[in-house]
A = this chain, B = another copy of it.
Amino acid sequence: MIIAGQPVSGTGDEIRGYDPAAGVDLEPAYRYGDDSHVDAACAAAAEAFGAYRATTAEQRAVFLETVADNIEAVRETLVPRAVAESGLPQARIAGEVGRTTGQLRLFAAVLREGSWNGARIDPAQPDRTPAPRADIRQREIPLGPVAVFGASNFPLAFSVAGGDTASALAAGCPVVVKGHDAHPGTSELVARAIAAAVSACGLPAGTFSLLFGSGPGLGTALVTDPHIKAVGFTGSRSGGTALVAAAAARPEPIPVYAEMSSINPVFLFDGALSTRAADLGRAFVASLTMGSGQFCTNPGLVIAVDGPGLDEFLAAARDALVDAPATPMLTRGIAQSYAKGVDALAAEADLVVRGSADGPEASCRAALFSTDAASFRASGVQQAEVFGSSSLVIRCADYADMASVAAALEGQLTATLQADEIDHPAAAALLPVLETKAGRILFNGWPTGVEVGYAMVHGGPYPATSDSRTTSVGARAIERFLRPVAYQDVPNALLPSAVADGNPDGLWRRVDGQLTRN
C-alpha cells in the first residue's frame, strides 16, 4: 500500500494477483490493511485538502499530465503485469494505458478551459426598489477527500488512476483508492506513478493513497471515515448498494457514485433485420465476446419481432458462437459467478447456443438464450446482469410487445437501436421510453466501447448507477466532486479569481444570466 507517499505493508490477509490465462498465482504477496491504515490515509487526505485545493487549475493540470507521463514511463513493466493479472489480451491492455493517460490529459484540458468553475455573477443593483440588490457571485469548489474503489474489469482505466481518480484530483479533491484484489501488482505500479507525481509537483503527500482490503471491512471503514466526502465505485450491484447504504447511514451522509449493473438492451428493427440480419448476428457476437464479455456495456439483451429476420440473426450468431473459445475471466470468483448466472438463465430460457468449453480454469464459455416477452416481463432472473459473454434474445410478437419490454426494463447504461431508414418511425416511437431508461442511446453500433470525451454519458437510472444525474466517464465526471458556493458583497481583493472583477482567469462566466467571456 502507499499511504501519503510512503510504502506501507498491511497486517491482514494475504492476496496475490492471479493469472487466469496460465491458471497460476503471481508473486509477490500483498496484505490487506486495517482500520489504522484507513485512519492514516484519510487523515492525511484531510490534511492535504486545504493546500491541494488552493492549487491553481494550471498546477493541477500539470500534475495530471505528470501522472500520465509517469504511467507511460513504466509501460514496459505495467502492460505485462496487467495482462498477467487480468488475462486480457496485450493489445487491449496497451490500449487501456492510452485510455488512462488520455483521461488524465482530458481533465488537464478541462481544467485549463475553466468552465468547471461554474462562474456566475449577478452584479449589485444599488438603485433597485423596493430594496437594493447585493452583488452575488458563484463558483464551484471541491467537496473534500474522495474514496475511489478500483474496478476489476479495467485494471487501468477504471482503477487506481482511472476516471474516478482523475476527475476527483482534477476537482481539487485528495483521493484514497481501495485497489481491487484482482490486480494488486498493477495497482502498486500505478500508485507509485501517482505518488511520484505528487512529490514532483510539490503537492502535499496526503493528496493520494492506495489501500488494499476487503469491501465489507476496509471498504466500509473507508466510506464511513468522517474525512471522506464522496465515493466513486465501479462494480457489482450488491457491492455498490452496500456502499450507498453505508454512506447514507453516516452522521453526515455523503454522495456515492456507484456504477453497478446494466444489461444494455439492443433493439433490432424489422428493416435492419431484413437487410443485414447475418451481419448483425456476427457483429453482435463480436461485441458480446470481446474481453470475455466483462464490460459494463456488454449487450446482455436483444429484443426483436419474431420472424425470418430474427431467425437469420440467430443462425449467424449461433455459427459465430459455437466455435468461440472459452476465454479467461478476470478472477476465479467472477468465473464462478458467471457460471451461476448462466445456470439461472438456463433454468428459465431456451438455450440457443453455448461456445466451446475448452479453456483455462477461470474462463468464460459464451452463452446465448432466447425467451418471449411475457416470460421476460414476469422474471427477475432474466433481467439480472450476468457479467460475462451471456445474452438473452427476446422474441416479440410485434412492436407493441417490444415496447412493453422496453417499459419493463430497469435503468441501463445504454440502449441500442439497429434501425434502417424505413425503421425510423418505429424507432422514434421507442426513443422517449429509452431516454427514461438509459444514459446513452446508440444507433447501428454496439454498446461496448465508451468514448472518453466531452459529450459522453456513462451513467443511467438505477440500478445502472446510484446517481443518474452524473457520468463516470468523460469531462462532466469532474462535476461529481464539486459544489457551488455563493459570495455576497465579498470585497474584490478577497474574491476567488474565478469570479473576481475583470475576469483575470479569462473564463466563460454567466453575468446576469448571460454567458460572456468579458
Question: How distant is the Cα of A486 from the Cα of B491 in the complex, in angstroms?
Answer: 41
B508 and A515 contacting across the interface, CB-CB below 8 Å: yes
User: Is A482 in contact with chain B by the CB < 8 A criterion?
Assistant: yes
* B-chain residues with CB within 8 Å of residue A134 when the two chains form the complex: 442, 445, 451
Binds B, one of A176-184, A196-204, A467-475: A467-475
User: Is A488 in contact with chain B by the CB < 8 A criterion?
Assistant: yes
Question: How distant is the Cα of A127 from the Cα of B188 in the complex, in angstroms?
Answer: 36
A421-453 CB mask vs B (1 if < 8 Å, else 0) is: 100100110011001101111111100010101
User: Is A136 in contact with chain B by the CB < 8 A criterion?
Assistant: yes
Binds B, one of A36-44, A244-252, A344-352, A359-367: A244-252
- Contact flag A451-B122 (CB < 8 Å), given A427-B494, A469-B482, A491-B443: yes
- Contact flag A490-B54 (CB < 8 Å), given A144-B436, A471-B484: no
User: Is A168 in contact with chain B by the CB < 8 A criterion?
Assistant: no
Binds B, one of A81-89, A113-121, A381-389: A113-121
Question: How distant is the Cα of A136 from the Cα of B438 in the complex, in angstroms?
Answer: 15
Question: How distant is the Cα of A29 from the Cα of B453 in the complex, in angstroms?
Answer: 58
Question: How distant is the Cα of A510 from the Cα of B488 in the complex, in angstroms?
Answer: 29
Partner of A488, one of B50, B115, B121, B443: B443
* B-chain residues with CB within 8 Å of residue A121 when the two chains form the complex: 455
Binds B, one of A157-165, A369-377, A396-404, A456-464: A456-464
- Contact-residue size bin, chain A (C-beta under 8 Å from the other chain): 35 or more
Question: How distant is the Cα of A510 from the Cα of B427 in the complex, in angstroms?
Answer: 27
- Contact flag A441-B248 (CB < 8 Å), given A451-B134, A455-B121: no
A454 and B424 contacting across the interface, CB-CB below 8 Å: no
Question: How distant is the Cα of A407 from the Cα of B50 in the complex, in angstroms?
Answer: 13
Partner of A438, one of B443, B485, B490: B485
Partner of A485, one of B131, B133, B439, B470: B439
User: Is A253 in contact with chain B by the CB < 8 A criterion?
Assistant: yes
A497 vs chain B, min Cβ distance (A) = 13
* B-chain residues with CB within 8 Å of residue A340 when the two chains form the complex: none
* B-chain residues with CB within 8 Å of residue A475 when the two chains form the complex: 513
Question: How distant is the Cα of A485 from the Cα of B490 in the complex, in angstroms?
Answer: 37
A183 vs chain B, min Cβ distance (A) = 24
A443 and B485 contacting across the interface, CB-CB below 8 Å: no
User: Is A489 in contact with chain B by the CB < 8 A criterion?
Assistant: yes
Question: How distant is the Cα of A440 from the Cα of B432 in the complex, in angstroms?
Answer: 38
CB closest residue in chain B, given A106: B513
* B-chain residues with CB within 8 Å of residue A131 when the two chains form the complex: 449
User: Is A466 in contact with chain B by the CB < 8 A criterion?
Assistant: yes
* B-chain residues with CB within 8 Å of residue A466 when the two chains form the complex: 253
B255 and A248 contacting across the interface, CB-CB below 8 Å: no
User: Is A318 in contact with chain B by the CB < 8 A criterion?
Assistant: no
Binding site for B on A (CB under 8 A): 50, 53-54, 95, 109-110, 113, 115, 120-122, 130-131, 133-134, 136-138, 141, 143-144, 244-245, 248, 252-253, 255, 411, 421, 424, 427-428, 431-432, 435-436, 438-445, 449, 451, 453-457, 459, 461-463, 466-471, 475-476, 482-491, 493-494, 508, 510, 512-515
Can you sample 23 A-B contacts with CB below 8 Å? A115-B515, A120-B454, A121-B455, A122-B453, A136-B451, A138-B457, A141-B436, A143-B468, A244-B248, A244-B253, A252-B462, A427-B494, A441-B488, A442-B489, A442-B490, A443-B490, A455-B510, A459-B483, A461-B483, A468-B483, A476-B484, A508-B515, A515-B515
